[in-house]
Amino acid sequence: MGDSKEAGAEAPPAGAGAREGLRLLSPGEPEEPSAQASALLLGGSEVKSRAVVKYSSAPPRAAFARLEEKTDLKLPPANWLRESAKLGPAGTTILGNSKKSKPFSSFGMAYDFIDSVGNDVDVVSDSENIKKLLKIPYSKSHVSMAVHRVGRTLLLDELDIQELFMRSSQTGDWTWLKEFYQRLIDQKWQRKKKSKEHWYQKAILSKFLYYSINGDGAAQPVPAAAEQQESRSDQTDGSDGAAWPAPFEMPSSVSEDPIASSQGLKNDFVRNILWTFEDIHMLVGSNMPIFGGGRYPAVSLRLRDNNKPINVLTGIDYWLDNLICNVPELVMCFHVNGIVQKYEMIKTEEIPNLENSNFSTKVIKDIAQNILSFLKSNCTKEGHTYWLFKASGSDIVKLYDLTTLCEETEDKYQNPFTMPVAVLLYKVACNMMMKKNQNKKHYGTIRTLLLNCVKLLDKSRHPQIIASANYMLSELFQLDEPKKEESSESPLNENSDESYSEEEEELGDSDENGCYSAGSDPPDDSKAVAIIKSVGELSVPEKYKSTHQIRPSCAFPVCHDTEERCRLVLSYVLEGLKSVDSSMKKESDLPAADPSTPIPLKYEDESARGGPEGLEKQMALFLDKMGSLQKGNYSSQSGMIPGSWQHKMKLQLILKSSKAYYALSDAAMGLQKYGRALRYIKLALQSHDTYCCLCTDMLSEVLLFLSQYLTLCGDIQLMLAQNASNRAAYLEEFHYQTKEDQEILHSFHRESSCQGFAWATDLSTDLESQLSVSCKCYEAAHEILQFSDLKSQNSEHYVQVLKRMGNIRNEIGVFYMNQAAALQSERLVSKSVSAAEQQLWKKSFACFEKGIRNFESIGDATNAALLLCNTGRLMRICAQAHCGAGHEFKREFSPEEGLYYNKAVDYYLKALRSLGTRDMHPAVWDSVNWELSTTYFTMATLQQDYAPLSRKAQEQIEKEVSEAMMKSLKHCDVDSASARQPLCQYRAATVHHRLASMYHSCLRNQVGDEHLRKQHRALADLHYSKAVKLFQVLKDTPCELLRVQLERVAFAEFQMTGQNSNVGKLKTLSGALDIMVRTKHAFQLIRKELVEELAQAKSAESSPAAEAAPSLNREEVLRLLSIFESRLSFLLLQSIKLLSPGRRRASNNMEDDLALRANKQIYSQLLRATADRSTSLVDRIDLLIHLLDQLAQGSAVQ
């Protein structure tokens, strides 16, 4: 095969190279044969075998010395029993052979190659155990092996019954197994001593190997001590062959490396080989010496008695050893009675065809596949110890579940395999968790490994492993996102600790697979899990098929919502906390507390807590505490030692619990269960408070969590304030506690009083207090982000906190503003502004200012505009508060009112500047415009109605009113279609009406400047026309429309009084009558509403529950109707006078006569109607509509 290269050596897993005596082979190191795949053609059939040396502690290969013929092997060489690097462990025992397989040898390999366990490898075992299994059909010897399953990997170890029962006789351990063995298998069991021939053959082999590495061929005596040591070997064999640790000697701490420190759990093999035999992948340990050099780069060396032919068992032994170690040749030294005769070189592929040792490699392959399938089908439970047993001389192979048998005894921890199996399950799970590219689909596998690990261990003896396993179980669940790994196709396995289904278990026990269930066993076999009825069946190809796919799905629990997922996490956290607390030494020094007794959630009303002023003090204390945490202060009550495993683990568990409670609180918020949400965020903050007491160096990540918790707490307090009507239900939710939460709190109280955040989590009945607490939560969250560089690292969260601060300050500002408005409305007798009102204004204004700064600091122009708008509203309330000075008849628009209204205008204009354009946020833009228009309108109306004539001239007042009204119109959008459009139209119509009335009044009172009079006349007429048009668009303002039309008629009458000619008067009178005709639309609207009111009144009598729609102001209608009748009567009378023959013109006599006749007739009907006071309102309106129709058709006034 040429120079020996370690081309197939694989890279070690992290940390594995630290094992004593274990080193990674370099690519050019000439120790082992090539590890490249080899396919050996044997006996016409092909057997695929590939061996890769993963690790080796063997020295470089040395050439063996060919002994001279007639060399006497009974005489010891000079170097006998001296430690030799060339032989490795083969030379360290008295008898010179490789060490006897230790009971936990497979675990030692599994710990070192944890990456391979559970996934890639089918079997982990000593090569001696592999050979023993494959020789079962050929051998009458007994077989006794322990089998353990981890994932798809089976661990095989020799279970030396003789050693075990000898120990049982001395210590009392394993008595249950000894009794079971004697009852069902061998009733007359006694220890069998090995023959002198056995020890003689071992001594000859040992001396031969030492001669082979010595090379001088000289036989020299050895010291007498060595002979004495040899003589004692028979007596000590029982103890030095296998080291069985006591069941309770296993250390409880993983950090102390129980594997390295406990006898029998080291990987003591010279080589660990990844051997692929056909489709079976095995991790095998081997101590076989390999020699090389010269024309034989890699050979195995064997000693045979020339008088005894090689049998099948020996041939299989030699062949498998060479296959496993990938050695191409075998050197056989023959002797007779210890005298060397000759050497013979045999190729590995020729071994199956040796005389008297002929065997089929294909049969060996079938045996291997059948045994593996049998074990995989029946060794299904992770963490269980199975016993594969074949009695000496028997053809029946039985498989027992020792774990189940052991659980029937008083102490289930008597099984010494329990601890190594649990640690292996734990290590495999840790390894899978540590992989960065680990897919979440393996979480089900990890969970099963950890659950089985916890199930195996005694909580009182192994608290660290149990705490760590429970923490890892909690880490499997993602709290910040819905689970995505569940598959609708995978079966739900939520409540099962095992990873196989009942259906598969039944298939594994079927007769079709060559074994039968316990129900059909003879009475003596009722304890067996499965049986091979005849070893001959193992040679039949595919006799046993592995119908049980090991770990078919390991389905991860399907959590339907966040609460279910978090509750699972908390259950694991609680178990972890219990393990940590139970391991603490100072339990008796702690104050007694009963976990079953609820820990009261403090409830204080605002008076007991001191209100917002008390909050300020508590906030200051909190910030001082956060500052001390930055300096690394430590204040645990339990005296836990920083840096201990308890300290580190409890910190992790507490942090996990806080995250779980935070997720629960967030989910409850989404469901609008605000009392429950406050309870959970209180528990999250109590968790964090405990963490702060234990922590010696606060991580920025943990500070960010705290900021998030306080932000959510602020949200909850705000929602509780806004939903005060459900306070009783929220209070009940808040005080409810589960037993699990009580026990977790009990664990927290061992370290902390958990009152650090009490100021943030009390459920108050006072609205102001709740808003203040919410604000303080946001402020605290903001302050925490200032402690380190969290603000820049978490800019999104920082922006959210500032937005919430701006929002809560707006809420508090509105609260104080509404309180001030309420005080103002209650102020009846005293006309001056009270100090309480002014204090509320200041508080409200301060909140609005801070909120505006918050929003401006993050560039949130829209929200800043809304707060500016609210500040404008506050200024208007201040203005309204100053309007009550003096009696109503002396009322004037005061300077204070003007000052505050102008301030309001300034804030509204700032809001518009903040928005920039309407496109930025149309709704907010329209709202600010409307408020600004309202402010101008109110200011103008008050100046018009309560003119400050004592301070200003009439003309100045009229100018200011006109300017304010026009600005109001400018910000009143009557054209854009929106919900506010009718309001805008009504506002604009009212503004035009008021302006027209003002100019009308000016015209009446003005004397002198004719140019100004014409201007006022034109403006009055313009604004009246615009007011009428807008009121006509609106369908629900007939009285306003009628009032404007009547004022227009009065304006025409006023104009008529200043005219001297009949022609001018007649023309003006014609215009006035035309206005009267146009009021028909207003009367029709009034009539329609009156009829609807009558219909509603009748329906209300039949069904009193029906709500009445808003009705017309009947008094207003009657007043306007009377005015209209009198003005129409007056106009008709004037027209009759002007159209009479004595005053009319000479022309158009026919038309004037017709008009005169029609007007007289209408005037006559109107007089009769007004004289009859019994006429109903609807009838009067009907008559007027009829008269207006006649006037429109028959009036001759031109």
Confidence of residue 216 (pLDDT cuts 50, 70, 90): very low
Which one is predicted more confidently, 1036 or 707?
707
Secondary element (H or E) of residue 825: helix 795-826
pLDDT average, residue stretch 63-74: 86
Binned at pLDDT 50, 70 and 90, residue 4 comes out as very low
Residue 756 has pLDDT above 70, yes or no: yes
Helix (H) or strand (E) holding 61: none
CA 28 – CA 36 distance, rounded (Å): 14
3-state secondary structure of 266: coil
The count of residues in the chain is: 1198
CA distance 563 to 107: 40
pLDDT value of position 245: 33
Q: What pLDDT, on a 0 to 100 scale, did the predictor assign at position 1147? A: 52
Task: Estimate to the nearest angstrom the gap between the alpha carbon of 1050 and the chain centroid.
Answer: 76
Instruction: State phi, psi for 421 to the nearest 5 degrees.
Output: -65, -45
Instruction: Kindly report, residue by residue over 1109-1137, the tens digit of the pLDDT.
Output: 556 778 888 888 888 888 888 888 888 88
Most confident of 428-432, 513-517, 970-974: 970-974
Residue 37 has pLDDT above 50, yes or no: no
Distance, in Å, from the CA atom of 479 to the CA atom of 658, rounded to the nearest integer, reads: 11
Predicted confidence at residue 404, as pLDDT, reads 82
Most confident of 213-227, 870-884, 1085-1099: 870-884
* Percent of residues, the chain, with pLDDT higher than 70: 74
Q: Is the dihedral of CA 340, 342, 346, 350 positive or negative?
A: negative
pLDDT above 90: residue 667: yes
pLDDT band (50, 70, 90) for residue 604:
very low
Report yes or no: 998 and 960 within 8 Å, Cβ to Cβ. no
**β-bridge pairing 153-158 and 123-126:** parallel
Pick from 618, 622, 617, 626: nearest CA to 788:
626
Q: Check residue 341 and report its DSSP letter.
A: E
> Given its phi and psi angles, is residue 740 left (phi above 0), alpha (psi -120 to 50 degrees) or beta?
alpha
* 3-state class (DSSP) for residue 327: coil
- CA proximity to 574, closest of 363, 819, 746: 746
Question: What sign does the CA torsion over 177, 98, 129, 9 have?
Answer: positive
pLDDT of residue 171: 66
Within 10 A of 814 (CB to CB), how many other CB atoms are there?
A: 18
Distance CA 1171, CA 967 (A): 48
Residue-level pLDDT at 217: 42
pLDDT in the model for residue 753: 82
* Lowest-confidence segment of 7-21, 110-124, 315-329, 884-898 by average pLDDT: 7-21
Alpha-carbon radius of gyration of the chain: 52
- pLDDT classification of 677: cutoffs 50, 70, 90: very high
Quick one: average pLDDT of 705-712?
A: 93
Residue 300, sorted as left (phi over 0), alpha (psi -120 to 50) or beta, turns out to be: beta
Residue 215: pLDDT above 80? no
The answer on pLDDT for 680 being more than 90 is yes
Instruction: Please check the confidence at residue 1052 and state whether its pLDDT lies above 80.
Output: yes
DSSP one-letter string for 653-714: HHHHHHHHHHHHHHHHHHTT-HHHHHHHHHHHHHHHHHHHHH-SS--HHHHHHHHHHHHHHH
Could you tell me which residues come within 8 angstroms of residue 849 by beta carbon, excluding any fewer than 6 positions away?
871
Residue 766 has pLDDT above 90, yes or no: no
Please state which of the ranges 143-152, 342-351, 400-409, 520-529 shows the lowest mean pLDDT: 520-529
Please state the rounded mean pLDDT for residues 97-124: 77
What sign does the dihedral 1046-1048-1051-1057 (CA atoms) show?
A: negative
In eight-state DSSP terms, residue 82 is: S
- Of 95-104, 641-650, 688-697, the one with minimum mean pLDDT is 95-104
Q: Which residue has the higher pLDDT, 236 or 541?
A: 541
Compare 1092 and 8 and report the one with higher pLDDT.
1092
| DSSP for residue 18 | G
Kindly tell me if the per-residue pLDDT of 397 is higher than 50: yes
> What mean pLDDT value characterizes the chain?
77
Band (pLDDT 50/70/90 cuts) for residue 427 is confident
Please give the full DSSP string across 758-822, using - where no structure is assigned.
HHHH---S-HHHHHHHHHHHHHHHHHHHHHSTHHHHTHHHHHHHHHHHHHHHHHHHHHHHHHHHH
User: Which of 216-225, 285-294, 407-416 is predicted least confidently?
Assistant: 216-225
The one-letter code for the residue type at 190 is: Q
**Mean pLDDT calculated for residue range 728-736:** 91
Q: What residue has token string 């000052």?
A: 899
| CA separation for the pair 666, 681 (Å, rounded) | 8
Yes or no: say if 598 and 737 are a contact pair by the CB < 8 Å rule.
yes
pTM above the 0.75 mark?
A: no
* Average pLDDT score over residue span 620-633: 55
What pLDDT does residue 118 have?
76
- Please give the Cα distance from 486 to 478 (Å, whole number): 12
Q: Which of 586-600, 689-703, 835-849 has the lowest mean pLDDT?
A: 586-600
Residue 755: is its pLDDT beyond 70? yes
- Is residue 654 very low, low, confident or very high in pLDDT (cuts 50, 70, 90)? very high
Question: What is the distance between the alpha carbons of residues 1008 and 794, in angstroms, rounded to a whole number?
Answer: 75
Which tens digit of pLDDT belongs to each residue from 516-561? 333 333 334 677 878 888 888 888 877 877 654 444 445 556 666 7
For 124-138, 501-515, 806-820, 1115-1129, which range has the lowest pLDDT when averaged over its residues?
Answer: 501-515
Confidence of residue 487 (pLDDT cuts 50, 70, 90): very low
Q: Tokens 């507490």 sit at which residue?
A: 654
Least confident stretch, 159-163, 587-591, 851-855? 587-591
* Out of 249-253, 315-319, 611-615, 746-750, least confident range: 249-253
Q: Are 876 and 901 in contact (CB under 8 A)?
A: yes
pLDDT at 499: 35
278-329 tens-digit pLDDT: 889 999 998 888 888 666 678 888 999 888 888 899 999 999 999 999 898 9
